[in-house]
A and B are shown apart, each in its own frame.
Chain A
């Protein structure tokens, strides 16, 4: 069994990778939003709800859950739009913060 320290490094590497992929997720969200693809939007929000929680970003997870609920409840377009933009802004902000923190350490 690898040491706890080795595992912490491994976890950090996983989080880094997750953050590195954030622009891709944001792009997918934007595309679903601009093409009014609600099925895809719901799916992306659902995935983000699960994965963001798993990687230690409960605020993103909560916002994604809110968006998923709005799409499920068939809320009006502008409400969904606002919620999705908020989610995108949050993803972007958290990713920037993480990258900045990493650079500070290095």
Chain B
């Protein structure tokens, strides 16, 4: 079930809120179990069969947790294995087989398994619990229901952010929500929904339409248009989803950490990665990079650590070579910045640093956007960005009927750029004026904007079924 669906907005969420808030706040366990039950339903609606498999993994982890807390290796390895093995099987096994079959005389039949929704996210969450428990950084969760709630907690279950157990450890056992947090959460949810419905989904149409063409039909400007649209779409989609998750978390008394912080205003690649998908980066930093030695090692070892971490980062995004290349590409850029480019970026005007970051991020998206194991295909699109390759018949914005979507792209570009910081500062300045003359209209306007945004977003969700038969006229 998607947050941007009518099932969620008009049935699941209202029902949950009625059932949850009808329980007096003092009955913490009853509220939490209600939330758990609804989270189960949320996941089962999309993955009826795998739901039981995840419950099984959580149960084994819960069983092993006593031994893990006592730093016993076998329970720790079992708890790790029961969580990592499904990820390897469902996400990577076929990729491994396909690549093994490239070896002469090896011919292993491929397995085509449907990947459980959100497996990359909930697996990592479970790992944070198991590893932190083993390290003694969190207390053992004795209540199986609460542990299950942590994993199945619907706001962050299928698309993150990757919430560490230590970040919600206290919130699970209490009901901290009040009218203020509910209002803030609802506002954040609507903001995320608007990002998804009003921007990401519209910009997505540009990218999808262009990339559906054969490469011989995509001119260089159109390729850049597709990349720009893709970069903005993925940002607004993912950060919108994170906003919705954070907002919903707030509504039910959970404080999730921020996942995006205006990444397209970064002045270097390393800054970009401090602002993009923060929960994933901190996971790799704390659970792979630092255990490998981090940056306090020899230069050679640091290069190795960086390649490993970014290889895994690429692989986490998908089981295909383009993702690995994408990860290693960023490893290379980060090395470049560490060794010499970082110093150059500090000296040149900020505008050029910003352009540099956008340029290399855009190239990165050209690897990322085509889920492919064919390097020729992948690089074909990257080369086309620089005018390399034959264009036999170039499509245009007009021939693809994209005119109506370009304004959305412009709005997305403004809201995704450093201009957004200026807009944010101006809003913040108004917000901080304490005189009633400003504060009351500000409050009315923001509240009204939220309500209107919700109605418009629901309208856009409904509009998703509009299907005019323009082409197939009778």
A and B held together in a complex: no
